[in-house]
């Protein structure tokens, strides 16, 4: 049977399914056991699956990452949680120098089937270190995948795929949309494919690419633009590394225009990589320069001021109208 679930509930459902289906899966992190996590993504899992499968860790991100690597190298499938993405930096050494390199370092004798979940992004009026969108830091590291669901269905299917993947996956959960919408989800264990984009809306005039929380504003903008006579194709990147450039290129070859929407700061982001790929592989299909709607190159401001930082539907529409002015 299917049930209407939020993105947060879909994460819980996927974790519950894999804990029940695979005895090698373990879930751990700061407060994920007894309390069910700061956002309650693991609520009820310890009571159902036991303290040896779902357990709390000390407040030590480097230890969480190191334990994940050790477990994964010895045959377990750890799913760890970093409480907020802004807290991950003590764990970077283990992620970059160990998790991402084990397969290469051992010439394939060992793999590292670990998933590290992190709530990320702004929009909940949180203080500094609770609102970062630094996915590009991980998207620069060969050997790991970076997956960002945009809705409940994809959260369920992509998390299942991430847990089953033989290599490390950074799974970023856009907390602003944890409870925004509900999807009917059948708990059938069917995974979504990794390493591919999803075309959520077809169009002919301009290609819009986004991921995570900003798929919602991008789709809203596309709907409003349609009423103004602009046909926008909307693509959810979903796995931002490795990036499915073929789907994006195919769309740009059809529309001739591209606007990328990201919450992260403008400089050095995934959006810049997408623009570079299109410039290299589809330059002569472009009618207009590539547009980029992004956060600013500043620290995310506090509380309500973050909405001055975050891209809006109007900013997306304005950028589209700018590229549409080229004929």
Mean pLDDT of 160-184: 97
pLDDT top residue among 3 and 235: 235
| 193 located within any domain | no
Transcribe 234-261 into DSSP letters: EEE--EEETT-HHHHHHHHHHHS-EEEE
Which range of residues forms the domain containing residue 270?
198-324
pLDDT grade for 70, boundaries at 50, 70 and 90: very high
User: Which band of pLDDT confidence, cut at 50, 70 and 90, is reported for residue 327?
Assistant: confident
Percent of the chain residues topping a pLDDT of 90: 92
**β-sheet bridge partners, residue 174:** 120
Give 275-300 pLDDT, tens digit per residue.
Answer: 999 999 999 999 999 999 999 999 88
Residues 154 and 63 in one domain: yes
Verify that 154 and 20 share a domain, yes or no.
Answer: yes
- 5, 182 Cβ separation under 8 angstroms: yes
Helices (H), the chain: 7-21, 45-49, 61-73, 92-94, 102-105, 135-138, 152-164, 214-227, 245-255, 270-281, 306-309, 313-324
Mean pLDDT of 24-30: 98
Residue 303's pLDDT is 72
Average pLDDT score over residue span 84-90: 95
269's tokens: 């982001």
β-strand partners of 206: 232
Instruction: Note whether 214 and 283 are same-domain residues.
Output: yes
Phi, psi of 221 (to 5 degrees): -60, -40
Binning pLDDT at 50, 70 and 90, where does residue 128 land?
A: confident
Region at 256 (left for phi over 0; alpha for psi -120 to 50; beta for the rest):
left
Measure the CA angle with vertex 250, ends 249 and 256; round to 5°: 75
Among 154, 186, 218, residue at a domain's last position: 186
Q: How many residues does the chain have?
A: 327
DSSP β-ladder status, 115-120 and 77-81:
parallel
**pTM of the entire structure?**
0.97
- State the pLDDT at residue 130: 86
Domain identity same for 169 and 23: yes
Catalytic residues: 130
Do 13 and 160 belong together in one domain?
yes
State whether 251 and 180 are in the same domain. Answer: no
Question: What domain count does the chain have?
Answer: 2
Q: CA 233 to CA 215: how far, in whole Å?
A: 12
Radius of gyration from C-alpha coordinates of the chain: 20
Identify whether 242 is preceded by a cis peptide bond (ω within 30 of 0).
yes
pLDDT category at 2 given cuts 50, 70, 90 is: confident
- With CA atoms as reference, report the closest residue to 196 among 237, 162, 158: 237
Residue 120 forms beta bridges with which residues? 174
Say if residue 33's pLDDT is above 80. Answer: yes
Q: Nearest CA to 208 among 307, 291, 326?
A: 291
Q: What pLDDT score was predicted for residue 126? A: 83
Judge if 258 and 224 occupy the same domain: yes
Asked whether residue 60 falls in the same domain as residue 207, the answer is no
Query: 250 CB contacts (<8 Å, ≥6 apart)?
Result: none
Question: Is 148 a domain residue?
Answer: yes
Q: Is 192 a domain residue? A: no
Give the residue-averaged pLDDT of 151-160: 98
- The answer to whether residue 3 scores a pLDDT higher than 90 is no
Residue-level pLDDT at 1: 63
Answer for the pair 234, 208: CB distance below 8 angstroms, yes or no: yes
Same domain, 135 and 244: no
Final residue of a domain: which of 157, 186, 215?
Answer: 186
Residue 265 host element (H or E) = strand 258-265
What's phi and psi for 120, nearest 5 deg? -145, 165
Indicate if 146 and 227 belong to the same structural domain.
no
Q: What is the CATH number of the domain that holds 272?
A: 3.40.50.920
Residue 191 lies in a domain: no
The secondary element (H helix, E strand) that includes residue 171 is strand 169-174
Shared domain for 243 and 279, answered yes or no, is yes
pLDDT score at 221? 98
CATH number, position 154 = 3.40.50.970
Task: List Cβ neighbours of 236 (8 Å cut-off, separation of 6 or more).
Answer: 150, 154, 197, 198, 199, 200, 210, 211, 215
Dist. CA 110–CA 74, nearest whole Å: 8
């Amino acid at each position: 049977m299917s049930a209407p679930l939020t993105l947060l509930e879909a994460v819980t459902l996927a974790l519950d399914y894999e804990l029940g289906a695979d005895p090698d899966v373990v879930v751990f992190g700061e407060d994920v056991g007894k309390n069910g996590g700061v956002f309650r993504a693991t609520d009820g899992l310890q009571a159902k699956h036991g303290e040896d499968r779902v357990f709390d860790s000390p407040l030590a991100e480097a230890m969480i990452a190191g334990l994940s690597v050790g477990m994964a190298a010895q045959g377990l499938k750890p799913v760890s949680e970093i409480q907020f993405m802004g807290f991950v930096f003590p764990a970077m050494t283990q992620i970059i120098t160990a998790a991402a390199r084990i397969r290469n370092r051992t010439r394939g004798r060992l793999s590292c089937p670990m998933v590290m979940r992190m709530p990320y992004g702004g929009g909940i009026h949180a203080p500094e270190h609770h609102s970062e969108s630094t996915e590009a830091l991980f998207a620069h590291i060969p050997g790991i995948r970076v997956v960002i669901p945009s809705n409940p269905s994809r959260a369920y299917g992509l998390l299942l795929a991430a847990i089953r993947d033989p290599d490390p996956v950074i799974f970023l959960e856009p907390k602003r949309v944890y409870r925004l919408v509900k999807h009917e989800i059948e708990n059938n264990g069917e995974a979504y494919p990794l390493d591919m984009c999803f075309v959520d809306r077809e169009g002919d005039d301009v290609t819009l690419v986004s991921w995570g929380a900003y798929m919602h504003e991008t789709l809203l903008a596309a709907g409003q633009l349609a009423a103004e006579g602009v046909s926008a194709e909307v693509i959810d990147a979903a796995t931002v590394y490795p990036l499915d450039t073929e789907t994006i290129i195919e769309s740009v070859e059809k529309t001739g225009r591209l606007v990328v929407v990201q919450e992260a700061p403008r400089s050095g982001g995934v959006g810049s990589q997408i623009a570079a790929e299109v410039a290299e592989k589809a330059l002569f299909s472009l009618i207009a320069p590539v547009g980029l709607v992004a956060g600013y190159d500043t620290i995310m401001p506090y509380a309500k001021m973050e909405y001055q930082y975050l891209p809006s539907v109007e900013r997306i529409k304005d950028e589209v109208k700018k590229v549409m002015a080229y004929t």
